[in-house]
C-alpha cells in the first residue's frame, strides 16, 4: 500500500469544523480564562454536543469512534486556539475516560462515559503526588478495604481539572509491601466523604487550565469504585500511550499558532525601510520554524497511524512527544524574537505562547523520561 500523506475528506471536513468552532466559540473565551486563571466550564457541554469529546469512544457510549489521526487533528486545532483549554479537554478525554473505557465494568462505563462524552461531567486523573511524579511506584496514597468500602488517604498534586472535576481516577497502594504491583486505581466522586481539599495551583503558563492539589483524608468510597486491581497498574499506565500522542499534537498546534503570528507580523513590521520578513535573519528563522513544525507533525501522524492500526507505537509515541516538546519551545522562543519588544509584552499572544510552551516537556512523561523510553526501545 502506498504511503498517503493526504487527509481523507472526512478528516479534512473535521479539521475545518473544529477550526471554525474554535475560532467562533473558544477564542472569545480565552482572554477571560487566562486573566482569571479559570477554565470556561460552559465549554464542555458545547464540545460534547459537537461530538468532540467522543472521538475516541464507541457509539454505544455516545462516541463517534473515529481514528487517532482525527483525534490528533482535534488536539492540534485546540492547541492552536489555547493550550490551557486544550490540556483540560485532553485530560478529560484521554486521561480520565480512556482508562474507564479500557478497564471499567458496564456500570462504570454507563455512569462515567455516557455523561462524560456529552460534557455533562468532567473527569481527572490523579497519579502525581508531592513526593512522586516520574517515579509513580513511589506514591504514598493508600486504599484500605473496610467492609464494602475502601478508605483512601493521600495527597495528589498538579491534577488537571482538579477543582472542577466530578470524578477523579486515583492511584493508591492497596498493598504497600508490593512495590509497584501493589497499586490499584479507583474512581473517586467529587462529593465522596473525606475528599477534603481541592486547592488551586497558580502556574507560569496554561493559566486557563484548572490545576489543583487534591487531599483525601479517610475518604470513603464504595468497593465498586475499584477500576484496576493490584497487578494491573503498569498495564493501565500503558494505555496512556494514546494521550502522549495527542499531547504531542497539542504541542504542534501551539507551535503553529506562534509561527502564524510571527509570520504575519514579520510581513507588516518595518525596519530600515522594509518589512522585517525581507531580512534573511528573520526569513530563515521563519523557514526553520516551518520545517520543525512540519517534522513534528509528521512524527505525530506516524505515531497516530501506528496506534490506530494496532501496531506497536511506544517508541514512536515517545519520539513524537519528545520532539514536539522541543519544537514548540524553540518555535515559541523564536516567535518572541521575531516580534522583538512586542514579543515580550502582553498585548500580543506570543508572550503567552512562550510561557505555555514550557509545559510540553514536563507533563505526560517529562522529556527525560521520553528519552529513557526511546533508549529502552532501542535495546539500550
Ligand atoms: C500543569 C501541570 C499539569 C499536570 N497534570 C497532571 C495530571 O492531570 N495528573 C497527574 O497525575 N499529574 C499531572 N501533572 C504532573 C506531571 O505529570 C509531573 O509533573 C511529571 O510527571 C514530572 O513529575 P515531577 O514533577 O514530580 O518531577 P520529578 O519526577 O521529580 O522529576 C524532576 C526532574 O528529574 C527528571 N527525572 C526524574 N526521573 C528521571 C530518570 N529516571 N531519568 C532522567 N531524569 C529523570 C525529570 O525528567 C525532571 O526533569 C501535571 C503537571 C503540571 C505542571
For 44-89, write each residue's pLDDT tens digit. Answer: 999 999 999 999 999 999 999 999 999 999 999 999 999 999 999 9
Q: What is the pLDDT of residues 322-350, one digit of tens each?
A: 999 999 999 999 999 999 999 999 999 99
CB–CB of 79/252 below 8 Å? yes
Q: What is the pLDDT of residues 299-328, one digit of tens each?
A: 999 999 999 999 999 999 999 999 999 999
CA of 368 to the centre of ligand 1 (A): 10
Per-residue model confidence (pLDDT) at position 237: 87
List, in sequence order, every residue forming a beta bridge with 271; answer none if it has no partner: 274
Triad 305, 308, 311: Cα angle to 5°: 80
Q: What is the pLDDT of residues 264-281, one digit of tens each?
A: 999 999 999 999 999 999
- Domains of the chain: which residue ranges? 9-122, 124-230, 240-377
Average pLDDT taken over every residue of the chain: 96
Q: Which CATH class is domain 240-377?
A: mainly alpha
Strands 142-146 and 211-222: unpaired
| pLDDT band of 1, cuts 50, 70, 90 | low
Q: Does domain 9-122 have CATH number 1.10.540.10?
A: yes
Which numeric CATH code is attached to 124-230?
Answer: 2.40.110.10
**CA–CA dist 376, 27 (Å, integer):** 41
- Output the residue whose Cα is nearest ligand 1's atom 35: 368
For the Cβ of 246 lying below 6 angstroms from any atom of ligand 1, the answer is: no
CA of 129 to the centre of ligand 1 (A): 10
- Cell readout for 307 is 496506534
List, in sequence order, every residue forming a beta bridge with 328; answer none if it has no partner: none
CB–CB of 251/75 below 8 Å? no
CB–CB of 184/175 below 8 Å? no
Q: Which of 113, 13, 105, 12 is nearest to 58 (CA)?
A: 113
For the Cβ of 125 lying below 6 angstroms from any atom of ligand 1, the answer is: yes
- Cell readout for 243 is 494521550
Looking from the CA of residue 127, the nearest atom of ligand 1 is 11
Cβ count near 369 (within 10 Å)? 17
- CB neighbours of 34 closer than 8 A, spacing ≥ 6? 82, 84, 207, 208, 352
Is 197 marked active-site? no
Per-residue model confidence (pLDDT) at position 161: 98
**CA–CA dist 373, 128 (Å, integer):** 19
Q: What is the pLDDT of residues 125-182, one digit of tens each?
A: 999 999 999 999 999 999 999 999 999 999 999 999 999 999 999 999 999 999 889 9
Is residue 228 predicted with pLDDT exceeding 70?
yes
CA distances, 352 to each of 213, 317, 342, 356 (Å): 24, 26, 12, 6
Amino acid at each position: 500500500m502506498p504511503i498517503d500523506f493526504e487527509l481523507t475528506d472526512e478528516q479534512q471536513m473535521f479539521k475545518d469544523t473544529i477550526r471554525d468552532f474554535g475560532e467562533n466559540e473558544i477564542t472569545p473565551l480565552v482572554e477571560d480564562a487566562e486573566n482569571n486563571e479559570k477554565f470556561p466550564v460552559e465549554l464542555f457541554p458545547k464540545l460534547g454536543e459537537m461530538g468532540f469529546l467522543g472521538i475516541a469512544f464507541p457509539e454505544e457510549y455516545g462516541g463517534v469512534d473515529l481514528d487517532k489521526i482525527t483525534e490528533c487533528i482535534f488536539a492540534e486545532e485546540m492547541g492552536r486556539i489555547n493550550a490551557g483549554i486544550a490540556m483540560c479537554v485532553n485530560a478529560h478525554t484521554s486521561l480520565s475516560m480512556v482508562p474507564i473505557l479500557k478497564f471499567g465494568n458496564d456500570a462504570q462505563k454507563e455512569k462515567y462515559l455516557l455523561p462524560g462524552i456529552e460534557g455533562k461531567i468532567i473527569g481527572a486523573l490523579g497519579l502525581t503526588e508531592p513526593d512522586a511524579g516520574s517515579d509513580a511506584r513511589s506514591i504514598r496514597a493508600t486504599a484500605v478495604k473496610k467492609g464494602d468500602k475502601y478508605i483512601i488517604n493521600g495527597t495528589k498534586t498538579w491534577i488537571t481539572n482538579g477543582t472542577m472535576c466530578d470524578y477523579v481516577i486515583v492511584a493508591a497502594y492497596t498493598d504497600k509491601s508490593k512495590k509497584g504491583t501493589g497499586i490499584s486505581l479507583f474512581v473517586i466522586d467529587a462529593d465522596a466523604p473525606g475528599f477534603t481539599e481541592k486547592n488551586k495551583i497558580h502556574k507560569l503558563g496554561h493559566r486557563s487550565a484548572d490545576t489543583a492539589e487534591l487531599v483525601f483524608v479517610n475518604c470513603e468510597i464504595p468497593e465498586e469504585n475499584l477500576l484496576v486491581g493490584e497487578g494491573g497498574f503498569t498495564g493501565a499506565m500503558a494505555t496512556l500511550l494514546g494521550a502522549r500522542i495527542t499531547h504531542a499534537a497539542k504541542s504542534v498546534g501551539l507551535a503553529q499558532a506562534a509561527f502564524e503570528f510571527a509570520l504575519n507580523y514579520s510581513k507588516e513590521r518595518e525596519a530600515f525601510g522594509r518589512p522585517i520578513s525581507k531580512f534573511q535573519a528573520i526569513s530563515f528563522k521563519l523557514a526553520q520554524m516551518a520545517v520543525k513544525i512540519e517534522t513534528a507533525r509528521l512524527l505525530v501522524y506516524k505515531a497516530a497511524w501506528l496506534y490506530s492500526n494496532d501496531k506497536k507505537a511506544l517508541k514512536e509515541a515517545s519520539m513524537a512527544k519528545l520532539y514536539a516538546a522541543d519544537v514548540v519551545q524553540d518555535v515559541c522562543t523564536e516567535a518572541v524574537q521575531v516580534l522583538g519588544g512586542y514579543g515580550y509584552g502582553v498585548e500580543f499572544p506570543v508572550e503567552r505562547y512562550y510561557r505555555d510552551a514550557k509545559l510540553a516537556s514536563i507533563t505526560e512523561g517529562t522529556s527525560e523520561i521520553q528519552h529513557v523510553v526511546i533508549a529502552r526501545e532501542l535495546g539500550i
